[in-house]
Amino acid sequence: MTPKHLAAKVAVVTGASRGIGRAVASRLAQEGARVVVNHPRGEEDAAREVVNEIVGDGGDAVAIQADVADNGQVQNMIETAIKHLGRLDILVNNAGICPFVEWFDMTEEIWRRVQDVNLNGAFYCSQAASRVMRDQGQGGRIISMSSISALVGGGFQTHYTPTKAGIRSLMQSLAIVLGPYGITCNSILPGAILTDINRAYFDQPGQIQKDTGRIPVGRLGTPKDIAGVVAFLASEDASYINGADILVDGGLFVNLQ
């Protein structure tokens, strides 16, 4: 990939105040894209830090607050993005939550919130963004954070794994609907990436060593491991990849025997 291959592009990255989303926002900005750093209420400082870092490195970014689980806030985010940055070329559906919960303790409220943020949020953002991309008439990219959890279960993730399978499936269907407009839709399936979402789990004594032992490359993933793949899918080199998913897990999934 040539440097600054995303110059003149505008990207919206949901849940970009921390973790994988933050690394994605920074990487897309390094590639020349102007970036919307979406964040939920309460993460203003973290989002400002991401924007300042990008601007300090010579890039361009703006923070926009929106709960992706709220369609009205999502519409408002996309309108505000267009007002500030003029266009939209890349949507990264990254925002997600996974409160680890035992099945017999699972409440309807927790179940619904996880569906609302992870899957319904991806629907709201994808529809709003693709309408803009369609009207621009210059194609686009929708890249969604699914998970290895789309392929395997998780005992404390019974609410979460269906959302990740759903996101992957949504990208497959949207690839058909939006391909004719030059808008490609793909998923990334990260394995175990150490971030806030699983910090309490990995803080348990011996847990990192135990899980790392199952990963052939011998380490947990980092947000940067995922950001590079997003940059590739956003690039011209990936223009014929549509409806695909890329497992980025260091070989964890295939290590069954």
Counting Cα atoms < 13 Å in the Cβ hemisphere of 69 gives: 12
How big, in percent rounded to 5, are the helix, strand and coil portions of the chain? 50, 15, 35
> In degrees to the nearest 10, what's the CA dihedral of 184, 147, 82, 120?
100
Stretch that binds ligand RM4, among 13-21, 87-95, 112-120, 190-198 (CB under 6 A): 190-198
User: Of residues 31, 67, 89, 245, which one binds ligand NAD by CB under 6 A?
Assistant: 67
DSSP 193: B
Quote the least distance from Cβ 184 to ligand RM4, whole Å: 23
The terminus-to-terminus CA distance of the chain in angstroms comes to: 36
> Using CB under 6 A as the criterion, what x/- string covers residues 75-94 for binding ligand NAD?
-------------------x
Is 164 a residue of the active site?
Answer: yes
Quote the least distance from Cβ 108 to ligand NAD, whole Å: 18
Counting Cα atoms < 13 Å in the Cβ hemisphere of 107 gives: 4
Nearest Cα neighbor of 195 from 15, 51, 34 is 15
By beta-carbon proximity to ligand RM4, the closer residue of 30 and 149 is 149
76, 66 contact by CB (below 8 A):
yes
Interaction between residue 36 and ligand RM4 (CB under 6 A): no
Interaction between residue 230 and ligand NAD (CB under 6 A): no
> Using CB under 6 A as the criterion, what x/- string covers residues 122-161 for binding ligand RM4?
-------------------------xxx----x--x----
Residues 6+ apart with CB under 8 A from 18: 43, 46, 195, 196
238, 232 contact by CB (below 8 A):
yes
Identified catalytic residue from 144, 146, 147, 235: 147
> Using CB under 6 A as the criterion, what x/- string covers residues 42-81 for binding ligand RM4?
----------------------------------------
Quote the least distance from Cβ 197 to ligand NAD, whole Å: 3
User: Of residues 10, 13, 19, 114, which one binds ligand NAD by CB under 6 A?
Assistant: 19
Q: Which residue has the tokens 């399978």?
A: 165
> Using CB under 6 A as the criterion, what x/- string covers residues 30-49 for binding ligand NAD?
--------xxx--x------
Quote the least distance from Cβ 77 to ligand NAD, whole Å: 9
d(CA 60, CA 174): 29
| Residues near ligand RM4 (CB under 6 A) | 98, 147-149, 154, 157, 164, 192, 197-198
